[in-house]
Amino acid sequence: MSGAQKSKSGSARRGGDSPLIAEIPAELRQPILLIDDVTTTGATLRKAAIACFDAGYDVVGAVVLAYTKPPIDDED
């Protein structure tokens, strides 16, 4: 684990009490896919899914995309 999340406790990574807000969709139950750059506990995606569902979207899934550098090959 690295970056800003590294120094946080598990409860701090799970998210605070601040609400996530989603815009009202142009069409009710418009399907959407949530995308996040990293996941530790899944709490942010869960809160985002709930906020989007409550706003009127149909959350069809979630994807986590991350890029990491390959390990250094010490055999060269």
Q: Are strands 58-64 and 31-36 parallel, antiparallel or unpaired?
A: parallel
Identify the band that residue 2 occupies on the pLDDT scale cut at 50, 70 and 90.
very low
Residue 9 to residue 1: CA distance in whole angstroms:
12
- According to DSSP, residue 24 is labeled P
* Sequence ranges of the domains in the chain: 27-58
Across 10-14, 17-21, 38-42, 61-65, least confident range: 10-14
The pTM for the full model equals 0.63
